[in-house]
Chain A
Amino acid sequence: MSERHKIDARGAFCPGPLMELIAKLKLIEIGDEIEVWSTDKGTAADVPEWCKKVGHDCVSVDQEDDHWRVVVRKMK
C-alpha cells in the first residue's frame, strides 16, 4: 500500500524545496507520494516542470494561505 510522506520546506529558498523533494524521492517506494509545503514562489512551476522532465507524476499543486502544497508520486 502506497504511503504519503511530507516535507515542510516552508522558509527554504530556491532550489531548497526541490532538492529536499529529490533527496526524499530516492528513499521511498515507487507509487508513494510526497507532499511538499513551500513558501518559495517558484515551487509551483518548478516542481511540475521537473516531474515532466524526469518522469514522475505531479499529482496536484494547490495554494494554501501562506504556502504552496505540491504532491508528487514516484513513478520509477
Chain B
Amino acid sequence: MASPPLFILLCSGEHENVQMAAMLASVAAVSDRPVQVFVSMNALYVFDRETAPDDRYHGGRFSREMQSKGAPDAIELFQQGKMLGEMRMHACSMALDVNGWEEERLVPELFDGPMGLTKFLSDAESGQLISL
C-alpha cells in the first residue's frame, strides 16, 4: 500500500527545526512518499538568497554542534529531496507579501511557487501533517 503524502508546515526559523524539516522531507521523498513543504513566518528568512551561507542558520546549542561538526546542510537536503524524490516546496504567499518579497528573493530552483494557506490545508487533508 502506498504511503500517504507527507505535509510539512515549517514556520520556525530555528536551525534545529529547519534541519528536522529538511531531514523529514528528504528521507520521505526518497522513500517513495510524496512530500509538500509549506514555508512561512520566520522560516522564510532561512531561504533568503541574499543571506550569506555562514549567516543562514541560527539556533541553540545543537545548532552550534551541527555547524561545527559538519552536519548536512538543510538547504542541500531539501535540494536532494527534490532531485531524488517527489517533493514540492511552496512559500507562504502571506509571508512573501509581508516582507515585500517576490519568489525570486528565495534560494533558486528550490520553490515551486507561492501558495496560500487554504490550498495547503486542503491538500494536507489527503495525508499526514507535521508542523515545525
Contacts and interface: CB of A to CB of B under 8 A. Distances in A.
A53 B84 CA distance: 15
B31 A15 contact: no
A45 interface: no
Interface in A1-42: 11-16, 18-19, 22-23, 26
Chain B: number of interface residues, binned into ranges: 10 to 19
Contacts of B80: 19, 23
B61 interface: no
A11 B71 CA distance: 9
Interface residues of A, number: 14
Contacts of B31: 50, 53-54
B71 A19 contact: no
Contacts of A18: 27, 30
Interface of A: 11-16, 18-19, 22-23, 26, 50, 53-54
Interface of B: 23, 26-27, 30-32, 66, 69-72, 77, 80, 84
10 contacts: A11-B70, A13-B69, A13-B70, A13-B71, A18-B27, A19-B72, A19-B80, A26-B84, A50-B30, A53-B31
